Structure 1
Amino acid sequence: MSPRRALPGRAAWIAVLALVALAGPALAQDGAGLLDALGDVLSDAPDGSDERASLSGRILQLVALMTVLSIAPGLLIVMTCFTRFVIVFSILRSALGLNQTPPNMVLTSMALFMTFFVMQPVFEDAWEGGLQPLLNNAITEEQALMRVGDPFKAFMFANTRPRDIELFADLADRSDGTAGELVLPETAAEASWRTLVPAFMISELRRAFSIGFLIYLPFVAIDLIVASVLMSAGMMMLPPVLISLPFKVIFFVLIDGWYMLAGSLMESYMPVAGG
């Protein structure tokens, strides 16, 4: 790289450093002033006053909100139908023989918005039962946490096999040293988060791979037919994938595959999510 080409880059870095040097003390001073003001409000307010309790509650709500936002991607994966959608779409792309089409971003976005569509009743129940009363100072943080989790707990319990719940309930009893007669939960309220979340995950993985197997079958049949035709024609050096790929794509388009797959995946949840 010539010195002339490197000059704009150095000038940009110098400008950034100068901006940080000039704005840093001001930002630090503003932050310190904000903390001092907050401390003054807390110190001036008498113990047990409504102002002090309200401000302390708002601070706790802000900390809780930041914590939830930081773990939101993990919660979206383990407590919703996102796992099944994204795995089925990935298996479909492999069955079609397309490596990067549709891209990962397209499949993930489609699975994300389908998840929001299916989980909308659950989100509304969590908002109306827990978050909205909490923001109106009608309930405490502990009550809001319980009410927000109940709709998700009911959704996961309804979509989890009893066998999977039994597995983790048995393991939980062994780890606690209370192994004996195993009593399975009959309702979502009786199930614990410790056993329900992993049981829901493996149930979703099992269903996703079962759907993926059924998706693979017609495309494997097309691959076998094309390979047999090429072998009988003596074109053994021609890769069958080059010939079968357009046939698989047009087959999927003609049967309106995206409509059928997306509709079937969402309909498998709709009675549970709406009920």
Structure 2
Amino acid sequence: MDILKEILANNTSLTPSMQIVFFMTFLMFLPTVVMMMTSFVRIIITFSFIKSALGAQQSIPNQILVGLALCMTIFIMSPVISDINKNSIQPYMNEEISDEEAYVQLKKPIAEFLLKHTRQEDLELFVTNSSIDAENIPKEELPLNIIVPAFAISELKTAFQIGFIIYVPFLVIDLIVSSTLMSMGMFMLPPAMISLPFKLLLFVMVDGWNLLVKSLIESFVG
């Protein structure tokens, strides 16, 4: 987005056809950029872990998980969206602020959200390997091309930590079932087929979906 700002600020050097090509290219990558700047990354990876841990890859359609992840993302990001609409979009449409001020107001809530969930080590990784003098720049004023990838790898680590916690109880069930089948001499019977009902029973008894969704939401808004 910072690169977009610089190019648009110098759009006098671009012909109309070049501006259209650049705009269409930006729109093509916009969904990916938006997903990397929201809670979607952590949610969808966690859902993939629970699907794999249950061993129900064919029973839970990916479309359902992606749809639920998008709904949760909209719910979690609603305060940020409201802030952007109130302080950036509406004033700009009413011609109360300039393009530059609209961009500043747009970036502010996004940067606050990203930095809140970004580990300091990940942020320092990209700051150190950039040409920016971060000593004289507050974290909130860092460009998004540094904040976004730092946020992304922080989310990946958090999602993998959640995935490990999810896997442990189901792994215990798999080990118990496998040991029981081996002790009974039933080597030809797939353990996964026997353990699946027990894992589903455990997940239903603890109200797994409610617990999982509640934990994910509270990890962002808590």
List aligned pairs for 1:19-98, cutoff 5 A: 70-98=28-56
Name the residue aligned to 2:59: 101
The offset of 1:74, in angstroms, is 1.5
1:131-163 deviation line (CA, Å, top 9, x unaligned): 001111111222212211111111001110000
Name the residue aligned to 2:120: 162
List aligned pairs for 1:257-268, cutoff 5 A: 257-268=208-219
Matched, 1:144 2:102: yes
TM-score (norm 2): 0.85
1:66-104 deviation line (CA, Å, top 9, x unaligned): 777544311321110100000000111000001122111
Q: Secondary structure at the match of 1:269?
A: helix
* Counterpart Cα distance in 1 of 2:136 and 2:185: 61
Name the residue aligned to 2:69: 111
- The CA RMSD measured in Å over matched residues stands at 2.2
The offset of 1:168, in angstroms, is 0.6
- Name the amino acid aligned to 2:89: L
The offset of 1:223, in angstroms, is 0.2
Name the residue aligned to 1:9: none
Q: 2:140 aligns with which of 170, 188, 192?
A: 188
Name the residue aligned to 1:134: 92
Matched, 1:172 2:130: yes
CA contact (8 A) 1:76 1:82 kept: no
Decide whether aligned partners of structure 1 residues 230 and 92 sit closer, same or farther in structure 2, where only a CA change above 3 A counts. Answer: same
Structure having greater relative contact order (Cα 8 Å, sep ≥ 6): 2
List aligned pairs for 1:210-229, cutoff 5 A: 210-229=161-180
CA contact (8 A) 1:166 1:184 kept: no
The offset of 1:184, in angstroms, is 8.6
Q: 1:200 aligns with which of 137, 140, 151?
A: 151
Decide whether aligned partners of structure 1 residues 154 and 148 sit closer, same or farther in structure 2, where only a CA change above 3 A counts. Answer: same
CA contact (8 A) 1:169 1:184 kept: no
The offset of 1:237, in angstroms, is 1.0
The offset of 1:65, in angstroms, is 9.0
Decide whether aligned partners of structure 1 residues 71 and 200 sit closer, same or farther in structure 2, where only a CA change above 3 A counts. Answer: same
* Counterpart Cα distance in 2 of 1:147 and 1:250: 49
Bigger Cα displacement from structure 2, 122-131 vs 193-202 = 193-202
TM-score (norm 1): 0.69
- Name the amino acid aligned to 2:79: P
Task: Give the percent of matched residue pairs that are identical in Structure 1 and Structure 2.
Answer: 45
* Counterpart Cα distance in 1 of 2:77 and 2:201: 32
Bigger Cα displacement from structure 2, 138-147 vs 216-225 = 138-147
Q: 2:207 aligns with which of 250, 256, 272?
A: 256
The offset of 1:192, in angstroms, is 2.3
Structure 1 portions without partners, runs of 5+? 1-62
* Counterpart Cα distance in 2 of 1:184 and 1:164: 19
- Name the amino acid aligned to 1:142: E
